[in-house]
Structure 1
Amino acid sequence: MHEPTSWATFAGRRATRAVECVDLSDQPERLDDGLWFVVVDFEADLGRDGATRTGGRARAWRFADVEPAPARPGTGDAWRGPAASAWQTSLGRDDYVRAVGTVRERVRRGDVYQVNVCRVLSAPLGASTTDDGRAVEPDAAALAARLAAGNPAPYAAAVHVPASSGLDPVWVVSASPELYLSLDEGSDGAAHLGSGPIKGTARTPAGLTDKDRAENVMITDLVRNDLQRVCLPGTVEVTDLLAVEEHPGLAHLVSRVRGELPASGAGGAAGRWAGVLEATFPPGSVSGAPKSSALRLIAELEPAPRGPYCGAVGWVDGDAGRAELAVGIRTFWWSDGPGGGMLRFGTGAGITWGSDPAREWDETELKASRLVGLASAPGGATDR
């Protein structure tokens, strides 16, 4: 057994040997130069509605070595997950159904139009111990390989910087299907900022409903408004609306929004990424509309922090003017603590006036079942 080194992988790149970590809440301008792998907690305060999102972290790591990721990361046979029966939920079925009812009442009153209500699943998973008594964190690479084999995703990502590295640690493995932000700066200097919000989930395309389509349109409009806060006037457009994407065991409705940013360096002293993150974070598809009201209701209803779930995971190459950040859904994260190590996974659903509470609970189960099954040791039903 050997102690893992720090590494990250996303969008065909694999980085090793982390050499620096920065706090993006204090130094977002660092993203304007160099290549960084990014993990932002949903609760992170990036300049907008900070009173409702406190305590989360927004961090980026720079690595010494970056190269193309292996085409086949492995089968994940080395992964040793928690027992399937060990998983617990931050909101049980009855509490979740009540939370849906609360959101529907707030919609009736006109406080909000849509709110994403989530719950966090957790299971004990301790560190291993070497022959000389050193603790070794769970094998994030093995879990990433297992998810890649059993649940391939267009924005799959993993970042693991162990506590032994001397840097701020992180352990995140994601099989996200959703684009939060992309940046592509062309040779003509034009920088295109894009987003791909997902709203609407069913087992098959035939199961997508009018409620799903209305919700997607609502959130796409929210994302369009977010991009308009930072893009050049008249450049923001919806390039694809209500497209159906099929993923393992699921079908989603996906829309695409795109705009053009001012030229690099036009963001003022704080830099380009300070403005982009302030305008768009947290992602609209996992918060709600209006975003500020939805965030206040989320803080009221959800007993556990989301952490990197519903946040952002990906990379930013400030030198090349390129970036790709996923919404941190279908995401596992691990942390150690006084009570021992804990593996967590988030799941949720978008709630509107047209929501049926029982069906929304079922949607959270649907989103979790495949991935939690892949991350669990065989035997025993999950307690969700």
Structure 2
Amino acid sequence: MGGADGALALLSDGGPEGRWSHVATAPDRVHLGALEADLFAPLRDPAWGAGTVGLAAYDAGARQATGERPVLWPDLILARYPALLSFDHHQGRVRAVGRGRGLAEAAVAADRAAGWLAAARPPASPEAPAEAFTPEAEDQAYCDGVAQVVARIGAGELFQANIARAWGGALKPEADPFDVFLRLQQGRASPYGAFWRIGDRALVSNSPELFLAFDGETRRIEARPIKGTRARSVDPVEDAALAAALQASAKDRAENLMIVDLMRNDLARASRFGSVAVERLFAIESHPTVHHLVSTVVGRAEPGVTPADLLDATFPPGSITGAPKHQAMKVIADLEPPRGAWCGSLFILEEGGGLTASVLIRTASFERRDGGWTYRTLAGAGIVADSDPQAELAETEVKISALRHALVG
């Protein structure tokens, strides 16, 4: 499956925030867009309905603040899947979904999806597929960047910016990006894990973060920004203490609250007046390698608002930019090369006009050149007035640890 063009796996952990998984291949329509004035304009075409998967690159959304920069990834990729396997982890059911221009065509597509399930086999456990895991810059360069942001915050230029560092390398000649995905999923499933291959590009994500969920029938919008991280411990007592310390941390709570306010403002652009609220503040979510501080912001969409409108009002995600958002994106561009797909969003359009979109953190992007695959991945930290450069550097190491292990062991 992983080697096929258009191969798609959206795999959740089956937890309360990751109910659905989807598997598909062979899209019947593909769009690769660049430099569109209205990034999400193609989604306004009704042809891109339920069963459409999309990826919006971070740099495309940041361009309003940064101006033109080198393009590492297409601004917007869309693929429409007529056949789809959808797994409901809460009910323990799987559906073979078929769509087409008529009932007969849809039935053929559904039969094709059911055939994938019948042919499924447990995957083999691949060896570490990458030859190296090489930083693009020295540790000190990142620390210097953090110190610069702290100084700019002190000067009143902004309140917070999410600053990242990058690593890259090549896969071994016989290896494939799907090997990275399989290794990443072993004991480390996340609510928004993903593999996607389109042409000579592939994406592997282990994201725990929801950007947007939209129910087209109830009109409910939900965002769950993450801000605040601690490494987990194998000792249960120490692990619980680390989670409690994170939830009590004044610095992390302030960092989280800034982004909650930003997301309230973003959601308000597409929501009914007075409907935006904070449903949950400073909750702890625990994942295999980290604890996170997560808040939930909700709203009720205005009549006529579509997934394209929601994405247009809120992209790129506030949790990986900063506050104020426009200025934070300018500061990020001063300190980082283009991000590409990382910290953009991967999304799927659902029945009834619904949408689920992740934030592409814990994500690696791949490009095939001369028959071989290269990769790039990043990890960042939210920088605020009292950030310590060495502590922020250590946080990026914690966040990249699962991907590092999946790539090089």
User: Above 0.5 in TM-score?
Assistant: yes
Is the aligned partner of 1:59 residue 2:77? yes
Once the two structures are superposed, residues 125-176 of structure 1 have per-residue CA deviations (whole angstroms, 9 ceiling, x without a partner) of 2654xxxxxxxxx53443323222231101111211234xxxxxx3111110
Q: Which residue of 1 aligns with 2:203?
A: 172
2:286 maps to which of 208, 229, 246: 246
Is the aligned partner of 1:300 residue 2:334? yes
**Alignment-mate amino acid for residue 66 of structure 1:** L
Q: Which residue of 1 aligns with 2:21?
A: 12
Once the two structures are superposed, residues 266-285 of structure 1 have per-residue CA deviations (whole angstroms, 9 ceiling, x without a partner) of 24xxxx23321221011000
2:298 maps to which of 246, 251, 258: 258
Shift of 1:240: 0.3
**Alignment-mate amino acid for residue 199 of structure 2:** P
CA distance 1:125–1:298, shift in 2 (3 Å): same
Q: Which residue of 2 aligns with 1:131?
A: none
SS state at 1:309 partner? coil
2:126 maps to which of 70, 78, 102: 78
Segments of structure 2 that go 5 or more residues without pairing to the other structure are 11-19, 34-38, 90-119, 232-241
1:309 maps to which of 335, 342, 345: 342
Shift of 1:183: 0.7
Instruction: Work out the CA distance in 1 between the residues paired with 2:138 and 2:347.
Output: 31
Q: Which structure has more helix as a fraction of its residues?
A: 2
- Identical counterparts, % of pairs: 33
**TM-score between the two structures when normalised by the length of structure 1:** 0.84
Q: Which residue of 2 aligns with 1:134?
A: none
Once the two structures are superposed, residues 241-285 of structure 1 have per-residue CA deviations (whole angstroms, 9 ceiling, x without a partner) of 00001111210000000101122xx24xxxx23321221011000
Q: Which residue of 1 aligns with 2:199?
A: 162
**TM-score between the two structures when normalised by the length of structure 2:** 0.79
User: Larger RCO: Structure 1 or Structure 2 (Cα < 8 Å, ≥ 6 residues apart)?
Assistant: 1
Once the two structures are superposed, residues 204-245 of structure 1 have per-residue CA deviations (whole angstroms, 9 ceiling, x without a partner) of 314422211110011111011100011111111100000001
Shift of 1:314: 2.6
How many pairs does the alignment contain? Answer: 349
Instruction: Work out the CA distance in 2 between the residues paired with 1:47 and 1:275.
Output: 18
**Alignment-mate amino acid for residue 176 of structure 2:** D
**Alignment-mate amino acid for residue 378 of structure 2:** G
Is the aligned partner of 1:30 residue 2:53? no
Is the aligned partner of 1:334 residue 2:366? yes
Q: Which residue of 1 aligns with 2:399?
A: 367
Instruction: Work out the CA distance in 1 between the residues paired with 2:61 and 2:279.
Output: 30
SS state at 2:186 partner? helix
Shift of 1:124: 1.3
Moved more, 225-234 or 139-148: 139-148
**Alignment-mate amino acid for residue 154 of structure 2:** R
Q: Which residue of 1 aligns with 2:56?
A: 40
**Alignment-mate amino acid for residue 196 of structure 1:** R
- Runs of 4+ in structure 1 deviating by more than 4 angstroms, as ranges, are 69-76
Is the aligned partner of 1:352 residue 2:384? yes
Q: Which residue of 2 aligns with 1:184?
A: 215
- Asked if structure 2 preserves the Cα contact closer than 8 Å seen for 1:75 and 1:146, the reply is no
Q: Which residue of 2 aligns with 1:214?
A: 254
Instruction: Work out the CA distance in 2 between the residues paired with 1:255 and 1:274.
Output: 24
Once the two structures are superposed, residues 163-199 of structure 1 have per-residue CA deviations (whole angstroms, 9 ceiling, x without a partner) of 4xxxxxx31111100000001123xxx3111100000
Instruction: Work out the CA distance in 2 between the residues paired with 1:307 and 1:159.
Output: 15
CA distance 1:75–1:338, shift in 2 (3 Å): closer
| CA RMSD, Structure 1 to Structure 2 (Å) | 2.6
SS state at 1:336 partner? strand
Moved more, 193-202 or 29-38: 29-38
Segments of structure 1 that go 5 or more residues without pairing to the other structure are 129-137, 164-169, 379-384
